[in-house]
Amino acid sequence: MARLREFEEALGVRFRDSGLLRLALVHSSFLNENPDGALESNERLEYLGDAVLGMAVAEELYAANPGWPEGMLTQARAALVQEATLAEAARGIGLGEMLRMGRGEEAGGGRERPTNLSAGVEAVIGAVFLDQGYEAAREVVLRVLGDRVSSLDEAAVSANPKSELQEAVQAEGLPSPTYRIVHEEGADHDRLFVAEVAVGGEVAGRGEGKRKSLAEQAAAAEALRGPFAEQ
């Protein structure tokens, strides 16, 4: 209970129904290993929180950037709600340590897995929405994201790892990067894709995401941090 209270302080909210918060922290792997424990995982709350998160971010961006056209607002929202951003925000509030998950998932690095962290953030937001409504959930969204919303500028919004990698390899006179999905797992509604990007036949980066396109972007981002970091 004390840990939940500390986590609520990090969120800046005190739940009326603490059961909603507990549910938001249940990973599906916990149910697989403890079928007589929790009745469900946080996946339904994740679905709800994803919608609330998108709305809250869109509203804030719209108000804060009156000169931005629709396309730029859309790109900015995508940058803020993407898996990597949410995972970073989750680490900032210690969410990984609060997740209830199976021993196998934990042993495999599940508490640091970006997909688990981002899903946990969305589930917590969904729980706040059910517990106290949209305005409270919106405040949590902005608190968890911190200054990431206000610090976005046009250059950051326009950043595209795949495009940047393409430019980098062209500058070196190398062939265009090629992408392939090397692994996928999970239920149809909760797939995880792993992609690799190769340049000149050599693997330059690897990444994962809930969609193939996100996995490819993550792979390109890794290549830009690695072999092509100085390009």
**What distances in angstroms separate CA 67 from CA 8, 64, 72, 149, 177, one per listed residue?**
36, 9, 10, 16, 35
Token pair of 15, please?
């739940």
What value does the mean pLDDT take over residues 163-171? Answer: 87
Question: Would you place residue 40 in the very low, low, confident or very high pLDDT band (cuts 50, 70, 90)?
Answer: confident
Q: Percent of the chain having pLDDT more than 90?
A: 52
> Which residue of the set 46, 83, 122, 196 is catalytic?
122
- Residue with tokens 């917590």, as numbered in its chain: 124
Contacts of 131 (CB under 8 A, 6+ apart): 15, 16, 17, 20, 21
> Which residue of the set 50, 60, 83, 196 is catalytic?
50
Question: Would you place residue 99 in the very low, low, confident or very high pLDDT band (cuts 50, 70, 90)?
Answer: very high
The pLDDT score that the predictor gives to residue 155 is 55
The pLDDT score that the predictor gives to residue 231 is 46
The yes-or-no answer on residue 36 being catalytic is: no
pTM: 0.71
Q: Interior CA angle at 125 toward 67 and 155, to 5°?
A: 30
Collapsed DSSP state (helix, strand, coil) of residue 81 = helix
**β-pairing, 192-199 with 202-209?**
antiparallel
**Which among 24, 18, 28, 23 is positioned nearest to 189, based on CA atoms?**
28
- Residue with tokens 């940047």, as numbered in its chain: 164
Using the predicted structure, report yes or no on whether residue 221 has a pLDDT greater than 70: yes
The yes-or-no answer on residue 50 being catalytic is: yes
86-98 confidence digits (pLDDT tens): 999 999 999 999 9
